[in-house]
Structure 1
Amino acid sequence: MLTTGSPAPEMVLEDTDGQTVRVSDHQGDHAVLLFFVRSTSCPVCTRHVRDLVARRGELEADNVRVLIAVPEDRERAARWKARHAIPFPVLTGRDRSPHELIGLTRRIFGAMQQSGSVLIDRHGIVRHAHGATLPTGSYDRQGIAAAIASSTQD
């Protein structure tokens, strides 16, 4: 898992339209919150994404862009995004899972995909990194809020 205070690694992902998305392209403009769902079939993860959607105005006011990363392929990600009317870009990996890029691996006999969140400030520094094996612990709303508050001080 990434370490708070470290430079964010280069992450090249793909959105549901097949377009390349580089997290570093946001650097200088605004902070980026990446939320990594365990699976598009996970109701807990979907509930967390719904909370992010409900907080969209607040996040935009804090100059934070939300990106949702899923371990599935682009077609499945697109169906999930449409079914739940998710306004944020939903991203997949090109060569491997986005989760693997930051160290959110499969645990418990290799079957349970970890989920979590990463906040990268506009300077490209990781301000928040949180992961969990159980999806109920993956969305650290208070930790994200504190990281956003501290990154807007800069």
Structure 2
Amino acid sequence: MSRLTPGDTAPAFTLPDADGAPVSLADFRGRKVVVYFYPAAMTPGCTKQACDFRDSLASLSAAGYAVVGISPDKPEKLAKFRERDAVNFPLLSDVDRSVLQAYGAFGEKTMYGKKVTGVIRSTFVIDEQGKVELAQYNVKATGHVAKLRRDLGLD
């Protein structure tokens, strides 16, 4: 599994959102976008992370950043997650995990001391030209958005 590093071209994608409408990385060309990968909608850690992005969206948008969350969940589950937690940015469905794999966000990880294969919680900042500006793997669900804001010089 290869990992992305700053300067790499971000892998292109088109995935269905919570309503089944296609969303492409190319839709964000010309602005910066935070793309984050999370294991499962409506779980405690993923809910905390999504709500942190939700609560920071206005200031991230003001600084020129869009936010997109991607998980292997089906669109129907993403729609429930969006409604339940008032998520105000696109949640995309990568059921076959092809985009997760392209970003190096799916593979072997350690969970509770055991090696397992699954989604590696990861965040990428992609610049206006589609290049990776920041690549963070194995991020923590709690406190991650605050750290990302510091890393981007937004605090």
TM over 0.5: yes
1:148 positional shift: 6.4
Deviation at 1:125, TM superposition (A): 1.0
* Percentage of pairs with the same residue: 26
Structure 1 residues 98 and 84, CA gap change in structure 2 (3 angstroms): farther
Aligned residue pairs, count: 147
Q: Equivalents in 1 of 2:131, 2:137: separation in Å? A: 17
Equivalent position to 1:139, from 131, 140, 144: 144
Shift of 1:89: 0.7
- Give the match's secondary structure for 2:45: helix
Q: What is the rounded CA distance, in whole Å, between the counterparts of 2:124 and 2:150 in structure 1?
A: 12
Is the 8 Å Cα contact of residues 12 and 94 (structure 1) preserved in structure 2?
no
- State the TM-score, normalizing by the size of structure 2: 0.82
The separation in 2 between residues aligned to 1:138 and 1:11, in whole angstroms, is 27
Where does the alignment leave 5 or more consecutive residues of structure 1 unmatched?
Answer: 150-154
Asked whether the equivalents of residues 49 and 145 of structure 2 are also in contact (C-alpha less than 8 Å), the reply is no
Partner deviation per Cα, 1:2-25 (whole Å, 9 max, x = no partner):
111111111121111111111122
- Within the candidate set 109, 120, 124, 1:118 is matched to 124
Distance verdict in 2 for CA 1:136–1:56, change over 3 Å: closer
Alpha-carbon distance between aligned partners in 2 of 1:148 and 1:26, rounded to the nearest angstrom: 21
- Letter paired with 1:11: F
- Name stretches of at least 5 consecutive residues in structure 2 with no aligned partner: none
* Gap change, CA 1:49 and 1:92, over 3 Å in 2: same
Q: Does 1:50 align with 2:55?
A: no
TM-score by structure 1 length?
A: 0.82
Q: Partners of 1:136 and 1:87 in 2: how far apart?
A: 18
Deviation >4 Å, runs of 4+: 134-138
Aligned partners of 1:32 and 1:64 also within 8 Å: yes
Contact conserved, 2:52 with 2:145, CA < 8 A, in 1? Answer: no
